[in-house]
Structure 1
Amino acid sequence: MPMSLRFPAEWEPQDAVLIAWPHAGTDWAERLAEVESTYVALGVAITRFQRLVIIVADAALEAHARGLLAAAGADPARLRFVHAAYDDTWLRDSGPITLREGEAFRLLDFRFTGWGGKYGAARDDALISQLVAAGLFTRAKHQRIDFALEGGGIETDGAGTLLTTWQCLHERHPGLTRQEIAWQLENALQQQRVLWLDHGALDGDDTDAHIDTLARFAARDAIVFQDCDDPADSHYAGLKAMAAELAALRTTDNRPYRLYPLPWARPIIDEGRRLAASYANFLIINGAVLMPAYGDRADAAAAVMLGNAFPNHAIVPVPCRPLIWQNGSLHCITMQLPAGLLA
């Protein structure tokens, strides 16, 4: 009998992490050297534990990225480069969402609309097809799905429960009801149920409240979430309402989730604009959790809380202040590739 499809949790074994290197033809041009410092730190951190696949626009960019990573001490044996055209570097949203089918895989290729048409995204929407054509995935069936969805907008526990936000999915599909969207998600992603959050959007987040800036599964019965302890902050009421929603959720065996509230960084203002410095935008890899660090006094407390939530993982801070200038953070620029997927 054929194996059933399953959407693995992020903490399950991985072959690699997929990123796209920023260059002068992307929106990073104005602060390219600054953001490259984050990409270099990320590359060094990932290659301590596993492989890193880097999408580059051409051979010159590959040589440039190789040089920066080598100088910083990244393990060259764990680096792989693939050439493709891309508009931007937010691989969480333009990269493949992978389902496992026994020893085989299915690459789900949802429509990427530039977060609801906010930005041009034609090359990013075709990115997965380019990676398949480049031979990166030989054990996977490529499945295009005519439904707008970004990977940052969904979170799975690997056992059939999906966590998401109504604001994001409703903005992408204003003509559909909550039940109709849930059916689409359950059918495409092989989920048994969808848990919705109605509160918690962050200033400086142009994704319409992606779940990966707000609340993340740490285990099938545990959720890490971004809290706010400052009553004077504009986010206080919304994040407290979200915390109450999370406290009301139940596991499939009708138990409350174990909840891990993350501390709140002081406001980061850039040219008069509030940026979304969320600690919930961490990345789980083999043996480690890579934590976005913002040069804030709350960084240390966030690392402690993540250590409580992931006691069997090393907690590795990665400086991400340059990333939030473009409205995303560490998890947003990465996509994990499950073990066995790569050629």
Structure 2
Amino acid sequence: MTGLLMPSETAPQDRVWMAFPTAGYSLGETADDAEEARATWSAVAHAVSDFAPVTMVVDPEDVRDARRWLSVGIEVVEAPLNDAWMRDIGPTFVHDEHGAVTAVDWVFNGWGQQDWARWDHDARIAAVVVREAGVVRVGSSMVNEGGGIHVDGLGTVLVTETVQRDPQRNPGWSRSAVEDELARTIGATHVVWLPRGLTRDSERYGTRGHVDIVATFPSPGRVLVHDQRDAAHPDHPVSAEIRTALEEAVDARGLALEQVPLPAPQTLRDDEGWVDWSYVNHLVVNGGVIACAFGDPQDVEAAAVLRDEYPGREVVAVDARPLFARGGGIHCITQQQPAAVAGR
């Protein structure tokens, strides 16, 4: 054990890190696509900035566009980028044994060496963020992304079999090898293995099953779970599998997990096929929750669940459809930096 521990997302935060969309997959193929991407990333940044400072990493080629879209209160750091999914390309912040903030720099290889991905720049972004944040770097030999883990702050972590044990990420790694590395880097004393992620996220342009659109901890002992209620959607059996896995699981304290269903949107398909729209993919920030909205009747119920599960926090919804059309959501484009804790 190293004394490192990843705090819950509900812990106080010093800032939130993001990356501005750059040429390639996230910007899209047309000028209108590019403006939509910039507008959406900026809307999330401005929503977050009402609760915590935001630092945006921007490719040098995109600084003029970023300045056009971002308010003066959002700090800009220049660094070459391939894409804009800061949750995955950035570091994972943890506390050391004294409560100081430290950052885990995972290996990033384009979500398992996807043939459409480029990561020569993105593989270096965690080091840029660590330097700019002025914190100690903890290296890891494991290929991992921030969207592939969710913690309760007490040593429990949710993962999926299809990410950390993906043969294109960590060939030959056993469960115990993954668990040992998660213990060393984020202080995970108990790993809850979920069988897989959502259907579209397992297709060509997905992550192969990130947990952050499937389940998360709003508080210790409670798990918000993506609940696809329509049997016509292929995620209906996925939801059932996840529920079964969680029914059989306990947390790091040995206590059973209480599940809280978070309804999937009623919309089943978009122009590309079955949607993986998920209200689970929200960001918790000081005093607030930045929630996904989809122009869907379930937006109202989902926001009510989030208000109940995060009492005292304001729920602010941002239209996440342009994000999911590009492969992710609000949680995927943000990465929180926790505040230091005196005398942990």
User: Contact (CA 8 Å) 1:93, 1:150: kept in 2 or not?
Assistant: yes
> Following the alignment from structure 1 to structure 2, what is the Cα–Cα distance between the partners of residues 238 and 275?
13
Hey, what does 1:115 align to over in structure 2? 111
Residue 272 to residue 105, structure 1, CA distance change in 2 (3 Å): closer
Farther-moved stretch of structure 1 (107-116 vs 22-31):
22-31
- 1:50 CA displacement: 1.3
Match for 2:44: what amino acid?
L
Hey, what does 2:52 align to over in structure 1? 50
Q: Which residues of 2 match residues 222-301 of structure 1 at below 5 A?
A: 222-267=222-267, 269-301=269-301
Hey, what does 2:190 align to over in structure 1? 193
Instruction: Identify the match of residue 129 of structure 1 among 127, 133, 136.
Output: 127
Residue 309 to residue 132, structure 1, CA distance change in 2 (3 Å): closer
User: Contact (CA 8 Å) 1:23, 1:29: kept in 2 or not?
Assistant: no
> Following the alignment from structure 1 to structure 2, what is the Cα–Cα distance between the partners of residues 46 and 293?
15
Farther-moved stretch of structure 1 (165-174 vs 224-233):
165-174
> Following the alignment from structure 2 to structure 1, what is the Cα–Cα distance between the partners of residues 280 and 246?
14
In the alignment, structure 1 residue 104 sits paired with structure 2 residue 100 = yes
> Following the alignment from structure 1 to structure 2, what is the Cα–Cα distance between the partners of residues 328 and 100?
27
User: Contact (CA 8 Å) 1:8, 1:99: kept in 2 or not?
Assistant: yes
> Following the alignment from structure 1 to structure 2, what is the Cα–Cα distance between the partners of residues 106 and 221?
26
User: Contact (CA 8 Å) 1:186, 1:194: kept in 2 or not?
Assistant: no
- 1:45 CA displacement: 0.9
Partner SS for 1:9: coil
> Following the alignment from structure 2 to structure 1, what is the Cα–Cα distance between the partners of residues 257 and 281?
19
User: Contact (CA 8 Å) 1:199, 1:239: kept in 2 or not?
Assistant: no
> Following the alignment from structure 1 to structure 2, what is the Cα–Cα distance between the partners of residues 219 and 271?
36
User: Contact (CA 8 Å) 1:10, 1:284: kept in 2 or not?
Assistant: yes
- 1:177 CA displacement: 1.9
Q: Which residues of 2 match residues 58-73 of structure 1 at below 5 A?
A: 58=60, 61-70=62-71
Q: Which residues of 2 match residues 16-31 of structure 1 at below 5 A?
A: 16-25=15-24, 27-30=26-29, 31=33
Partner SS for 2:70: helix
> Following the alignment from structure 1 to structure 2, what is the Cα–Cα distance between the partners of residues 219 and 276?
24
Farther-moved stretch of structure 1 (288-297 vs 123-132):
123-132
Residue 28 to residue 274, structure 1, CA distance change in 2 (3 Å): farther
> Following the alignment from structure 2 to structure 1, what is the Cα–Cα distance between the partners of residues 4 and 139?
16
Match for 1:317: what amino acid?
A
User: Contact (CA 8 Å) 2:201, 2:209: kept in 1 or not?
Assistant: no
TM-score (norm 2): 0.89
Match for 1:124: what amino acid?
D
Where structure 2 has 5 or more consecutive residues not aligned to the other structure, the ranges are none
- 1:107 CA displacement: 1.6
Residue 186 to residue 5, structure 1, CA distance change in 2 (3 Å): closer
Partner SS for 1:126: helix
Q: Deviations over 1:228-263 (max 9, x none)?
A: 111222111121121122223223444322321111
Partner SS for 1:122: coil
Partner SS for 2:147: helix
> Following the alignment from structure 1 to structure 2, what is the Cα–Cα distance between the partners of residues 255 and 21?
41
> Following the alignment from structure 2 to structure 1, what is the Cα–Cα distance between the partners of residues 40 and 14?
22
Hey, what does 2:176 align to over in structure 1? 179
- 1:197 CA displacement: 0.8
Cα RMSD for the two superposed structures? 2.0
> Following the alignment from structure 1 to structure 2, what is the Cα–Cα distance between the partners of residues 176 and 5?
22
Partner SS for 1:316: strand
> Following the alignment from structure 1 to structure 2, what is the Cα–Cα distance between the partners of residues 27 and 305?
30
> Following the alignment from structure 2 to structure 1, what is the Cα–Cα distance between the partners of residues 129 and 311?
35
Q: Deviations over 1:133-184 (max 9, x none)?
A: 5xx122x112222211111101111111111111212212241222222122
Hey, what does 1:73 align to over in structure 2? none
Q: Deviations over 1:46-101 (max 9, x none)?
A: 1111101011112x73343233234xxxxx34x21111011100111110111212
> Following the alignment from structure 1 to structure 2, what is the Cα–Cα distance between the partners of residues 129 and 253?
34
Hey, what does 1:330 align to over in structure 2? 330
User: Contact (CA 8 Å) 1:276, 1:327: kept in 2 or not?
Assistant: no
Match for 1:40: what amino acid?
S
Residue 185 to residue 234, structure 1, CA distance change in 2 (3 Å): same
